[in-house]
Structure 1
Amino acid sequence: MIGQTVSHYKILEKLGEGGMGIIYKAEDTKLKRTVALKFLPTALTSKPTAKERFMVEARAAAALNHLHIVTVHEINEYEQQLYIVMEYVQGETLKEKIDSGLIEIDEALQLAIQTAEGLGEAHEKNIVHRDIKSDNIMIDEKGQVKITDFDLAKLKGQAQLTRKGTTLGTAPYMSPEQTRGSDVDHRTDIWSLGVVMYEMFSGQLPFKGDYPQAIYYSIMNEDPEPLSRLRTGIPAELERIINKTLEKKPQNDTSKSLTC
């Protein structure tokens, strides 16, 4: 699609591809701004559940207006393909930043606070992300967090789009409830934020395995190595908060400890 014009958006380059969408960088020729366009893959277009999940993402993200959440501008259809027009974020993913070297404690704390603030806004509107991970957290050129990919977002009270017993998410960041295929709520995002925080402060994931089932076992049955053993200078209160997010029993408001 590179070089094509969809509505008034000129496709410039492909940015990435995931299970629920292909993302392109584009120029809004009317407003003269750079945007991101996310298309449902052609192979999935004929599947009602995939289309419906894509619509859920659009409705969920469009309901959010927060500094730390990627803004949705429009949802439309092109040649029977649904697409979302989103804010284009110039920067890097948190995963890329972690992989480039250990993040300073103060900076990592600010990134964690910003992520918690964005999630807090979503949870206030009864929206659960369900796939929080360092790859889904962008850091723009000003150092501001932008949460992306509400692909798996589920509005509370809406009919479940996946059969009970089906897992949605990314294995190392999944909550115990997700590994079991159980119903989830905002506490799953709090768990996943805890995994991201552990990863930011230590440079490694708390739960590991060579294949998904091994990771699920670790999540369900093992405790992560204490952060203070992996890195000096970790404040005791910060370690306590991260440990609380990773308790096997879901917690209610741990994320508020960061933002208060």
Structure 2
Amino acid sequence: MASVCANIKFEPIRTIGNDEGKNSQVFVARDLQLNTELFIKGISKKKLEKEGVDIEDYFLEARLLYEGKHSHIAEIQYASEDEENIYLAMPVYKNGSLSAMMDNRFLTVREIIKYSLDFLSGLAYIHSKRMIHLDIKPTNVLIDNTGKAILTDFGLSRFLDENGFAEQRFNYRWIVDPELIQSTSRSIESDIYQVGLLLYRMCNGNNILKQQAVHLGLRTAEDFKNSIITSKYPIRKSYLPHIPIKLQRIIEKCLNVDLSMRYSNVIDIMNDLSNIEECLDWIYTPTNKEVYTKMDRNFRISISIENKNNKYYIVCIKENLVGNTKRKMNNYCKTVTDKKDICKELKNIIKEIN
């Protein structure tokens, strides 16, 4: 049968913010033939050509998504193209991306573990098919209509060869793994490094990597390369005080520059995440008082920091949600004169209350 050229018509409705995309734009559109809304990812052919990417090879993403059907992998509806762009169509996930959620608020430890186990389940399936993702970041994790985390955007993905490697030299600045700096050969461990970076952002805030780059004075590509391969970036020991030590150790193992010390598979990460039981329901709110809150069915405990006359007052309040009463937990109210001691005091208080 001769090949058939068919027209697919859709009408863009609104764009979805994505300042981490290098060659693509994601928007909600109405498919005029199906009369339904879809997520459409448009990839610029000019940008791909400029970077030496074979346009035909970019349809590999559509094939990978289509072949990789899994409850935690975004479903590809169809792929198409016009003179300017390649288009990939996916179902609309009204809850948006993990990135959008993290832009609005910090996550609880329970949420970090839940969403991580979700998207890691999809990643483990992809790895079982001898594929690697190579673009794991908050914008590429969607939250579906039932609250599950869904892994998407396989534009940089590749199949592994018989030795467990794939050639891929592209990556977004904030998720470059040490291997890419020294070689174009990537592996499952490259994905695991990016998992560590995503977990780090889930713990410390969506913009933490950009903030640390400014703090460390990283301006040039060479600055970034040196700081990554020497383990100076991201700052390994910098975490909000309610993040459990077990979770910190998982992230540090994912981010180990020494491949022999890094996780070698996703299942081990999932097993270790499942064993975390501390501080699950604490959440950080970056107000002018920097509030840490723990919620349960009947009570809310809030720890706030007030700065007065160069002194820092840690105030702990317990609120009875049933009787609508509040009381100060005097045992945990502290006065700190050195700002550097605040994190240590908060860690101790949260550990005791938990």
Tell me the TM-score normalized by structure 2.
0.62
Aligned CA distance change for structure 1 residues 37 and 121 (closer, same or farther; 3 Å): same
| Secondary structure of residue in 1 paired with 2:171 | coil
SS at match of 1:91: coil
Distance 1:243 1:45 in 2: 34
Aligned to 1:246: 255
SS in 1 for 2:99: helix
Q: Once the 2 structures are TM-superposed, how far is the Cα of residue 122 of structure 1 from its aligned partner?
A: 1.0
Q: Identify the structure with bigger relative contact order (alpha carbons < 8 Å, sequence gap 6+).
A: 1
Query: Aligned-pair distance for 1:133?
Result: 1.3
Deviation readout 1:5-50 (Å, 9 max, x if unpaired): x525344344467433333322234544321223332525767834
The answer to whether the 8 A contact 2:42-2:87 is kept is: yes
Equivalent residue of 2:96, what SS?
strand
What count of residue pairs does the alignment treat as equivalent? 250
> Which residue number in structure 2 is paired with residue 9 of structure 1?
10
Identity %: 23
Deviations 1:153-209 (A, max 9, x none): 1112399776xxxx3112222110012233001111111000110111122239733
CA 79–141 in structure 1, closer or farther in 2 if over 3 Å, else same: same
Equivalent of 2:114, from 110, 114, 131? Answer: 110
Report if the CA contact (8 A) 2:188-2:264 is conserved: no
SS where residue 193 of structure 1 aligns? Answer: helix
Judged with a 3 Å threshold, the aligned counterparts in structure 2 of structure 1 residues 244 and 13 are, in CA distance, closer, same or farther, namely same
Matched with 1:188 is 190
Q: Tell me which of 231, 239, 253 is aligned to 2:240.
A: 231
The reply on whether 1:43 has 2:46 as its aligned counterpart is: yes
Q: Distance in 2 between matches of 1:80 and 1:96?
A: 28
1:220 is the counterpart of 2:229: yes
Judging changes above 3 Å, is the alpha-carbon distance between structure 1 residues 241 and 45 closer, same or farther for their aligned structure 2 residues? closer
* Residue in 2 that maps onto 1:3: none
1:171 maps onto 2:182 in alignment: no
Q: 1:71 Cα deviation (Å)?
A: 0.8
Cα distance in 2, alignment partners of residues 34 and 92 from structure 1: 14
Q: SS state of the match for residue 149, structure 1?
A: coil
Aligned with residue 134 of structure 1, among 109, 132, 138? 138
> Cα deviations across residues 128-158 of structure 1 (Å, max 9, x unaligned)?
1111112222223543212222110111239
The match for 1:256 among 258, 267, 288 is 267
- SS of residue matched to 2:200: helix
Aligned partner of 1:26 among 22, 29, 32: 29
Alignment-mate amino acid for residue 179 of structure 1 = I
**Kept in 1: contact 2:167–2:185 (CA 8 A):** no
Indicate conservation of the 8 Å contact 2:38/2:89, yes or no: yes
Q: Which runs of 5+ in 1 are unaligned?
A: 1-5
The CA RMSD over aligned residues, in Å, is 2.9
- Whether the 8 Å CA contact 1:40–1:51 is kept in 2: the answer is no
| Structure 2 segments unaligned to the other structure (5+ residues) | 1-6, 272-354
**Aligned partner of residue 258 in structure 2, secondary structure:** coil
Question: Cα distance 1:160–1:110, how it changes in 2: closer, same or farther (>3 A)?
Answer: closer
Instruction: Find the aligned partners of 2:73 and 2:173 in 1 and give their Cα distance.
Output: 23
Alpha-carbon distance in 1 for matches of 2:174, 2:84: 35
Among residues 196, 201, 204, which one is paired with 1:202 in the alignment? 204
d(CA) in 2 for partners of 1:80, 1:60: 22
Q: Distance in 2 between matches of 1:79 and 1:233?
A: 51
- Residue 242 of structure 2: SS of its match in structure 1? coil
SS of 1:169's equivalent in the other structure is coil
* TM-score normalized by the length of structure 1: 0.82
Instruction: Letter of the 2:100 partner, please give it.
Output: E
How far apart are 1:61 and its partner, in Å?
1.5
CA contact (8 A) 1:195 1:246 kept: yes
Q: Deviations over 1:73-102 (max 9, x none)?
A: 112334585322222222233233223332
